[in-house]
Structure 1
Amino acid sequence: YTVVIKPKEEVGIVVLLRLRLEAQPGFPDLDWHCHDVQVRRSSEDLEVEVFPCHKWIRTADGYIELRNEKENYFFSPIEYVQAHWQEDAFFGYQCLNGCNPLCIRQIHNLPPNLSVTSEMVRPFLPEDSSLGQEMERGHVYLLDYEVLDQLPANTVNDKQTYLAAPLCLLHYSRQGELKPIAIQLQQAPGPQNPVFLPSDAAPDWLLAKMWVRNSDFQVHQLLTHFLRTHLLGEVCCTATLRQLPEIHPLHQLLMPHIRSTLQINIQARITLLATKGVFDKSIACGLEAIPLLLARGTQRLRYSSMCVPDDVRVRGLDALPICYYAQDALRVWDALHRFVAGWIRLYYCNDEDVQHDCELQNWIGEIFTEGFLGLSHIGAPQSFQTAGEMCKFVTMVIFSCSALHAAVNFSQLDYNIWIPNSPAAMSRPPSQTKGSVSEEDIFSFLPEVNSSCHVLSVLSLLSQPAIDFVPLCHYNEWYFSSGAIVKLVEEVRRELKMLAKDIADRNSQLELPYPYLSPDCIENSVTI
C-alpha cells in the first residue's frame, strides 16, 4: 500500500526524514510496516531518492530517522550505533551480531529467580499468543549475567562504581525483530528488585537496558574475549611447545594459529591487566574482581559452547534469519573442519593411529589438566579415541584463535565507542524502585570523561589489524607449500574466498553490515 504526500511548499534538498505513527480517534492503534520513503522533486521528475526503512513502527516508538539510500554507504557502524542505541530492536540486534554474540540463548522455561509473569509481558507479545506458547515456539531468549553476581566493583577516579547481574528476557517477533521485553537487574527476586518493562517510564526502561549493556561489557572483555580466545590460545600454545616436537604434524598445523598468543598475553598482563592499567583505572571489573570472574567463567565453560555447530544449535540461533554471526560462523567452521579432516587423513590412517600417538595424547591430556583444570563437567576431551574427536578439537582451537577473536575483538570499537551504548562502569547503584530517575539523571550514571577516553584509546588500539596481517589459512611456512598439503590449502582458501564474496553481497543489502567473520577480515591468529 502506497501513501502519497504532497508538500504545501518547496522542501529543498532532503537528507534526513523523520517518521512518527500517530494514534487517531476511531482507528485501531496498529503497528505499521514501512518499506521505504521515496522522494520526487516533482510529479514529472523520473529520479527518485530512496530512504530505506524496512521496519515496523509503533506509536510508542516516537520518531524514526531515515537517511538517504545513497548516503548509507557512508553511514558507518559508529554513526549507526549513535543514532539507534536507544531502540529496542537495535538492543536485540547487538545480542546476536554485536561484539558479544555468545551470551544470548533460547529458553523454553523461565528461570525460577526471574519474577516475570505471562500477564506482565502480554502487551509485548502477539495478541493471539502467550508467553508459554511463545517459549514453546522457540521465540523467547534470555541474557543471564549471573556470573557477575556479588562481584566487588572497582573504584574509578576515587569514586565507587557498581555492578549488576541482570536477567533480560527477549522476544523474536513475527516481524523478524528481537526485542527485550523484561529486565531484572539483580539475581535474587524481591520488592527492591523490580522487573522493568518497555511500558515503564522511558528513563526507567532505557537505564535498565544500559545496565544490561554495562554487564555485557564486563563479560565480553574478560570472558568472551580474554578467556575464550586469548587464554585458550595460550594454553594450547604452551602445551604444543611442551608436548609436541617441531616435526610433529599437529605442531606444524597449529603453530601459525597460536604462536603469537603468548607474546600478546604477556603484554596484556603487564599493561592492560596490571596496576594503573585500563581495568584498574577505568572499568567496573577491576583487579580485585578479575580473578574471581575468570575463575567463575572457567567453571561455567562448556566444550559444546566452544564448538560452533553445537553452540548455535543449543542456543537456538542456527535458524534465526537475523543472526549473521551464527550464519557466518557456521560456514567458517565447516570450511576449517573439512581442512583439518583432510589434514588428519594425511597422517593418521585410522583411529588406532590416533590412540597410539603418545605425544598427541600427552598434548590433549595437558590441555585438559592445566587448561580446563581437570573439570570433567566442562565436557572437553581428556584423550582422543577417534580421528573425529581430534578433528573437532583442533578445529575448535583454530576457530577460537582466528575467527572468534576477529568477531569479538575487531567489532568492539564500533559498538563501544558510543559510551551510553556500552558503559565500562556505572557511577550510581542499580535502581531499586521504578520512577526514581529522570531523563537528566541517566547521564549521571555514566563514567567520567577521562576514564571513558582511557577505555576508548585502548579499544582503538585493539581494533587495529596487525601490520603483518596474515589472512585465515594463508601460511608462510615451507611445509604448507609442498606435497598433498598444498591441495588442502588451495581448497580451503577457495572455499573461504567464496564465503567472503557471499558475505559482501549480503552486506551490500544491509543497513548495518556484519563484516567481522568475512574470511578476508579474519587473521590467522591472535596478534592484538
Structure 2
Amino acid sequence: CLSWDIYKEEIPHCIRTDTSLPYDVYYVIQHWTDDFFFGYQFLNGVNPLMIQCCVELPKNFPVADEIVFPDGQNKLTDEMEKGNIFLCDYKLLDGIQTNTINEKKQYLMAPLVLLWKTDGKLKPIAIQLKQKPAEDNPIFFPTDSEHDWLLAKIFVRSADFNLYELNAHLLRTHLLAEVFTLSLLRNLPMVHPLYKLLKPHTRYTLHINSLARTHLINKDGIFTKFAASGGEGAFTILQRSLASLTYSSLCIPDDISMRGLKSVPNFYYRDDGLRLWRIIHRFVLGVLGHYYKSDAEVQKDSEVNKWIYDIYEHGFLSKEETGIPQKFNTVDEMVKFVTMVIFTCSAQHSAVNTGQYDFGAWMPNYPTTMQLPPPTTKGEANENTMLEKFPEVNTTVHGMGTMWLLSKSSADCVFLGNYPEEHFTEEVPLKKIKQFQEDLGKLSADIEDRNKRLDLPYTYLDPKFIENSVSI
C-alpha cells in the first residue's frame, strides 16, 4: 500500500531493520517532537545556515508579545535587544511550483520561524507557514493544541529539507566545488603550487556531480520524482539561491558574525567549523607563503589570476555584488579565498552531507514532501490528518534510501589532511603538511572528548570523518 497503515509507538515498517538502529537515528525518533530538539537542528543539524539573530520582526510576521510570552514576564523587544530572539525565513521557497507525486499535487510552504534562547537552548515560539499574513494563514504557537503545533513544525521541517538539499548542499558545496575544480584544470599547470595544493580537494567531484545530474535532478531522478520541489521548482530555488550567494557567506567566520551567532550556546557547527577554518588558513598561509614572498608576486601571477577570474565569471556570473574577487592584489586575499575553497570542498560538505540519514531516516522529522496543505484554521489537526499529509510510503522509502547512500563514505575515501599522491616534494610544504595533520589530530581529540559529555554527539566536523573533497 502507498499510505501509512501504522503510526503508534512502533517504528513504521519501512525503517525496521534486522540490526539495531544507529544511535543518532534512534535519538531522533525519541526526540523529534520536542521543541528544544526542533531548535537544536537549526544549529547542529544538516542545515545550520538558515538561522540568524533577529533584531526586528519582519513586517509580514506580526507576532504579539502577549501570545509568545503569556505570563507577561518577557517582551519581544527586550529579548531582541538582548540577542535572545532568532529567525529562520524560508522566503526563497515562496510561490515555488510544486511537484505531482503518485498523481497527487504536493505542498511546500515558505515559513517564518521565531526562536527564543532560554536555558541555554533554542525554543520555537511562533511559526507562520506562508509569507503573506492572512486569516487562512494563522501563526502557530506552542500553546496551541498538540497536533496543531506539531504539524506546523513538520511543515517547517519539510520546507527545510527542500531548501537545504538545493541550496546548502547542492549549490553551496557540490556545484561550487565543480566551479573551483574546472577552473583549476583550465588555468593552472600541474607544476603550479596552487594546483598541487588544491588538486586533492577535487577528487571525484566531477564524477559525483555527473551522477547527480543523471540520477538525482534529471527528469527521472530521485529528487525530481519524490521531493516537493522536484522538477521546475528545483531550478527556481537554485536560481534564487545563486542570486543570494555571497563570498562572505562562504567564509564561516564572516558568516557567523553577519548572522549574529557568536554567542549562541551549544553551537557545535560554529565551534568546530571556526577551529577548522583557522587550521586550514594556517596551513594555506604556510604553503603559499613559501612561494609568494610579496603581494607583487601574487599580482604578477597571471595563471592564478586567470583561475580566480574564471571562478568569478562562470561560477558567480560576473556579479560584483557577490563580493567574489576578480583578481588577487595581496597574499592575504589569495590565502583567504583558497582557505574558503578547501573548507567548502571538505569541512562544509561534511557538515551538510554526512548527517542526512541521521536526521532524515525518521521521515516525520524531515519529510521530502507533504501531500496535503497545512491547516488554515486551528483546532482541526489530529493524528489522522497528520498521517494523511505525510508523504506516502513509496516516496518515503526512496527518500530514505537516497539519504542513506549519500551519507556513506566511499570505500577508497581520503580524509582531510591526507595526501597519498604526494604532489609536493619540497621540504617546507612537507613540513606544513605534517603540522596540518597534527593540528587536525588535536582538534579531533578535543571534539571526541567534548562529545563524551553530549547526549547527541556532533561528529560532522571531526577531521577524522571529513573527506578531502566532494566525492559523494
Shift of 1:385: 1.1
Partner Cα separation in structure 2 for residue 107 and residue 352 of structure 1: 43
Bigger relative contact order (CA 8 A; separation at least 6): 2
Q: SS at 2:69's partner residue?
A: helix
Aligned to 1:399, which of 343, 350, 357? 343
1:354 alignment partner, one of 277, 295, 298: 298
Per the alignment, residue 63 of structure 2 pairs with 116
Q: Which residue of 2 aligns with 1:441?
A: 385
Structure 1 segments (4+ residues) deviating >6 Å: none
Determine which of 93, 107, 112 is the counterpart of 1:162. 107
Q: Distance in 1 between matches of 2:409 and 2:236?
A: 31
For 1:15, the equivalent position in structure 2 comes to: none
| TM superposition shift of 1:198 | 0.5
Once the two structures are superposed, the pairs formed by residues 201-220 of structure 1 within 5 Å of their partners are 201-220=145-164
How far off is 1:339 after superposition? 0.4
Looking at structure 2, the residues matched to 226 and 526 of structure 1 have their Cα atoms a distance apart, in angstroms, of 10
User: 2:197 aligned with 1:253, yes or no?
Assistant: yes
1:392-431 pair list within 5 angstroms: 392-431=336-375
Say what the alpha-carbon RMSD is for the aligned residues: 1.4
Which position in structure 2 is the counterpart of 1:365? Answer: 309
Taking the TM superposition and a 5 Å limit, the aligned residue runs for 1:370-519 are 370-519=314-463
Deviations 1:483-510 (A, max 9, x none): 1111100111101101000000010111
In 2, Cα distance between equivalents of 1:444 and 1:409: 29
Q: Give runs of aligned pairs for residues 116-135 of structure 1, distance below 5 A.
A: 116-123=63-70, 128-135=73-80
Alignment-derived partner of residue 89 in structure 1: 36
Q: What displacement does 1:357 show?
A: 0.9
1:189 positional shift: 1.3
1:339 and 2:283 aligned: yes
Q: Deviations over 1:193-220 (max 9, x none)?
A: 1111000111111010001100100111
Q: Which segment is superposed worse, 438-447 or 96-105?
A: 438-447
Q: Hey, what does 1:28 align to over in structure 2?
A: none
C-alpha contact (below 8 Å) 2:92/2:110 kept by paired residues: yes
Matches of 1:479 and 1:95 in 2, distance apart? 39
The answer (yes or no) to whether the contact 1:480–1:489 under 8 Å persists in 2 is no
Give the corresponding residue for 2:15. Answer: none
Q: What is the identity percentage for the equivalent residue pairs of Structure 1 and Structure 2?
A: 47
- Contact 1:318 1:327 (C-alpha < 8 Å) held by counterparts: no
Alignment partners' CA distance in 2, 1:452 and 1:75:
18
Measure how far apart 1:75 and its partner are: 7.4
2:70 is paired with a residue whose SS is helix
Cα deviation digits, residues 388-415 of structure 1 (max 9, x gap): 1111111111001101111111111000
Matched, 1:77 2:24: yes
Q: Deviations over 1:228-286 (max 9, x none)?
A: 00000000111111111111111111111013211110011011112222112211011
When normalised by structure 2's length, the TM-score is 0.94
Q: 1:150 to 1:223 in 2, by over 3 A?
A: same
CA contact (8 A) 2:85 2:115 kept: yes
Counterparts of 1:131-150 in structure 2, within 5 Å, are 131-150=76-95
Alpha-carbon contact 2:121-2:265 (below 8 Å) kept: no
Shift of 1:382: 1.5
Bigger helix share: 2
How many equivalent residue pairs? 453
Structure with greater Cα Rg: 1
Q: Does 1:223 align with 2:154?
A: no
User: How many Å separate the matches in 1 of 2:54 and 2:74?
Assistant: 17
| Paired residues of 1:183 and 1:208 also in contact (CA < 8 A) | yes
Q: Tell me the amino acid that sits aligned with residue 422 of structure 2.
A: W
Measure how far apart 1:111 and its partner are: 1.0
Aligned to 2:220: 276
SS at 2:255's partner residue? helix
Q: CA offsets per residue over residues 291-324 of structure 1, 9 Å max, x none?
A: 1111100001121111011111222222222101
- Shift in Å at residue 379 of structure 1? 1.4
Tell whether 2:236 aligns with 1:292. yes
1:315 corresponds to: 259
Match of 1:17 in 2: none
CA distance in 1, matches of 2:28, 2:228: 22
Cα gap change, 1:236 to 1:75, in 2 (>3 Å): closer
Q: Distance in 1 between matches of 2:422 and 2:457?
A: 37
- In the alignment, the residues of structure 2 paired with residue 277 and residue 433 of structure 1 have an alpha-carbon distance, to the nearest angstrom, of 36
SS state at 2:87 partner: strand
Q: Distance in 2 between matches of 1:325 and 1:120?
A: 32
The alignment's TM-score, normalised by the length of structure 1, stands at 0.84
